[in-house]
């Protein structure tokens, strides 16, 4: 969606608020000034003004217009400030029509007060629409204007960026394969400025813990930790997280899982700031390091764990809310909540079913079934498209399929954006399915 579209769309929505204000004011004026006009009826033939049908028509039109405008606005800005005012105004108007008969003066005051509350609800809604429009529009304009889309900060010298030369030959091959796998998946959006603060779709290690411990797999895990220590460049670091849960195979053996996470520290800081109320419940504050944050989320209660990973993986806030609510509903009722999915382009694709060609990207999140794309969905898609366009060009230029081309690509990319200021996250913003994989299978990919 063009940036101009994002800026204009809320203005069109504000026209609905303007209509709601006009109808509410007319409704109030009819109630308060109607008797005066009827007194002049012999001269002006205005007896129809006091007809109950006219009163009901104004009330119904006012309720429909106000509800449509404010609910539509809420779907854009996701701020609830206007909704309580809308409910109060609606209840006030309905009480005057359906409640006990009131004294004429009292009824006029009640209708006037209800109409004033509706007008205030519209004014609040208009203000929220303007703020949402400005925020999303400016972020998308910045993304489209920037040649790198998502700038990063990097004070390290280019030669110290992803300094894999210090690793033994085998470890170096694993490092290159890990970086390539991350870049071809959703890890691209972590490496290229932190649109996704955290990514983890490129390497998972499993090891048996019972009836005996798999020492070979543990050796592989030690290698992965060593390699991850070299995968850092400016704000980008790699971290190995061992999940707390133990799983059981069909043969009753038990195993544990660890994943490599790429973290963009500026992106992580943004989510810690923007969702401070949530993170503070886990004891995480501005400046918390990646290892502490990931550990806090991994060991958090179920709903907080889902929400924490949703924020870390860069999903829009509405998608995170839906994922948590749907998961909790399924736990309570045992019924799966049907859903649609939003997919953001990745270079590497997966087949929808076994035997089919790979067509599905790995950057995916759930939304309510039948939901239209939100402003946050559109902003994420547009910003990601700029990054993907550059990555495709750079991937071909650096011959990523051969040698250390992927390392050279990111050294050049991050260095070229080192002096650009970090942008704001465009979102007021589920943990991916882990695929058990031996570390050695990445070598030579």
Each of the 445 residues of the chain gets a pLDDT tens digit; together they read 333 333 334 444 455 667 667 766 666 665 655 554 444 445 445 554 555 666 667 777 777 877 777 777 766 666 667 778 878 877 877 777 666 666 666 766 777 787 787 788 778 777 766 665 555 444 444 434 444 333 334 344 555 799 999 999 999 999 999 999 999 999 999 999 999 999 998 899 999 999 999 999 999 999 999 999 999 999 999 999 999 999 999 999 999 999 999 999 999 999 999 999 999 999 999 999 999 999 999 999 999 999 999 999 999 999 999 999 999 999 999 999 999 999 999 999 999 888 899 999 999 999 999 999 999 999 999 999 999 999 999 999 998 887 889 999 999 999 887 655 444 443 333 333 333 333 333 333 3
* 299 in the same domain as 260: yes
Same domain for 99 and 208: no
Considering the domain architecture, whether residues 102 and 169 belong to the same structural domain is answered as no
> Are 184 and 66 part of one and the same domain?
no
**102 with 215, same domain?**
no
Q: How confident is the model at residue 430, as a pLDDT?
A: 34
Exposed/middle/buried for residue 371 (C-beta within 10 Å: 0-12, 13-18, 19+): middle
Domain boundary residue, one of 145, 180, 206: 145
Residues constituting the chain: 445
Alpha-helix residue ranges (DSSP H) falling in 265-314: 265-274, 276-281, 290-298, 302-312
In contact, 392 and 148? CB cutoff 8 Å: no
Structural domain contains residue 404: yes
Asked whether the beta carbons of 46 and 34 are under 8 A apart, the reply is no
**Residue 131 and residue 246 in one domain:** no
Q: Is residue 383 a part of any domain in this protein?
A: yes
| Cα three-residue angle 91-94-98, rounded to 5 degrees | 135
Instruction: Judge if 99 and 216 occupy the same domain.
Output: no
Same domain, 102 and 184: no
The DSSP line for 318-369 is HHHHHHHHHHHHHHHHS-PPPEEEEEEEEEEEEESSTTSPEEEEEEEEEEET
Q: Are residues 121 and 187 in the same domain?
A: no
Q: What is the pLDDT of residue 144?
A: 40
Number of H helices and E strands in the chain, helices first, is 15, 7
Domain count, the chain: 2
Contact at 8 Å (CB) between 309 and 431? yes
Is 421 inside a domain boundary? Answer: yes
Residue 296 Cα distances to 122, 261, 440, angstroms: 41, 14, 29
CA distance 351 to 36: 73
Is residue 48 packed enough to be buried (19+ CB in 10 Å), middle (13-18) or exposed (0-12)? exposed
- Whether residue 309 is found in the same domain as residue 421: yes
Distant-in-sequence contacts of 25-30, Cβ < 8 A, 24+ apart: 25/115, 25/119, 26/58, 26/62, 27/58, 27/59, 27/62, 27/93, 27/111, 27/115, 28/111, 28/112, 28/114, 28/115, 28/116, 30/54, 30/55, 30/58
Phi, psi of 336 (to 5 degrees): -70, 135
- Tell whether 153 is covered by a domain: no
CB burial of residue 165 (10 Å; 0-12, 13-18, 19+): exposed
Give me the pLDDT at residue 441, please: 36
Please check whether residue 82 is in contact with residue 128, taking contact to mean a CB–CB distance below 8 angstroms: yes
Cα–Cα distance, 439 to 219 (Å, whole number): 10
- Whether residue 387 is contained in a domain is answered as yes
- How buried is 239 (Cβ within 10 angstroms: 0-12 exposed, 13-18 middle, 19+ buried)? buried
Residue identified by tokens 């050049």 is 412
Domain that holds residue 101: 3-145
What pLDDT digit, counting tens, does each position of 249-286 carry?
999 999 999 999 999 999 999 999 999 999 999 999 99
């Amino acid at each position: 969606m063009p940036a101009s579209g994002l800026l204009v769309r809320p203005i069109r929505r504000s026209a609905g608020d303007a209509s709601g204000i006009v109808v509410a004011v007319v409704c109030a004026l009819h109630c308060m000034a109607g008797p005066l006009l009827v007194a002049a009826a012999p001269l002006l033939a205005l007896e129809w003004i006091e007809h109950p049908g006219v009163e009901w028509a104004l009330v119904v039109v006012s309720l429909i217009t106000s509800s449509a405008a404010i609910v539509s606005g809420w779907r854009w800005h996701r701020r609830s400030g206007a909704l309580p005012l809308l409910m109060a105004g609606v209840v006030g108007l309905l009480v005057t029509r359906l409640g006990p008969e009131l004294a004429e003066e009292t009824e006029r005051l009640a209708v006037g007060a209800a109409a004033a509350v509706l007008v205030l609800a519209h004014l609040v809604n208009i203000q929220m629409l303007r703020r949402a429009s400005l925020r999303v529009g400016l972020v998308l304009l910045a993304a489209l204007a920037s040649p790198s889309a998502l700038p990063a900060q990097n004070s390290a010298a280019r030669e110290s960026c992803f300094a894999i030369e210090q690793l033994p030959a085998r470890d170096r091959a694993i490092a290159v394969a890990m970086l390539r796998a991350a870049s071809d998946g959703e890890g691209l959006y972590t490496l290229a400025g932190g649109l996704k603060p955290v990514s983890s779709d490129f390497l998972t290690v499993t090891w048996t813990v019972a009836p005996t411990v798999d020492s070979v797999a543990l050796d592989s895990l030690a290698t992965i930790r060593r390699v991850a220590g070299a995968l850092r460049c400016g704000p980008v670091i790699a971290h190995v997280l061992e999940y707390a849960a133990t799983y059981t195979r069909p043969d009753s053996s038990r195993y544990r899982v660890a994943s490599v996470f790429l973290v963009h520290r500026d992106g992580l800081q943004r989510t810690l700031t923007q969702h401070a109320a949530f993170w503070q419940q886990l004891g995480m504050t501005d400046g918390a390091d990646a290892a502490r944050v990931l550990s806090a989320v991994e060991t958090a209660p179920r709903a907080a764990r889902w929400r924490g990973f949703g924020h870390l993986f860069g999903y829009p806030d509405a998608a995170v809310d839906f994922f948590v609510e749907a998961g909790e509903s399924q736990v309570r009722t045992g019924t799966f909540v049907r859903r649609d999915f939003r997919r953001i382009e990745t270079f590497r694709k997966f087949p929808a079913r076994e035997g089919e060609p790979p067509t599905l990207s790995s950057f995916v999140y759930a939304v309510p079934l039948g939901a239209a794309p939100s402003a946050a969905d559109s902003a994420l898609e547009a910003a990601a498209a700029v990054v993907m366009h550059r990555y495709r060009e750079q991937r071909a230029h650096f011959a990523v399929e051969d040698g250390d081309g992927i390392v050279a690509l990111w050294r050049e990319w991050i260095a070229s954006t080192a002096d650009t200021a970090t942008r704001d996250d465009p979102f007021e913003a589920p943990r991916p399915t882990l695929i058990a994989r031996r570390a050695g299978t990445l070598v030579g990919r």
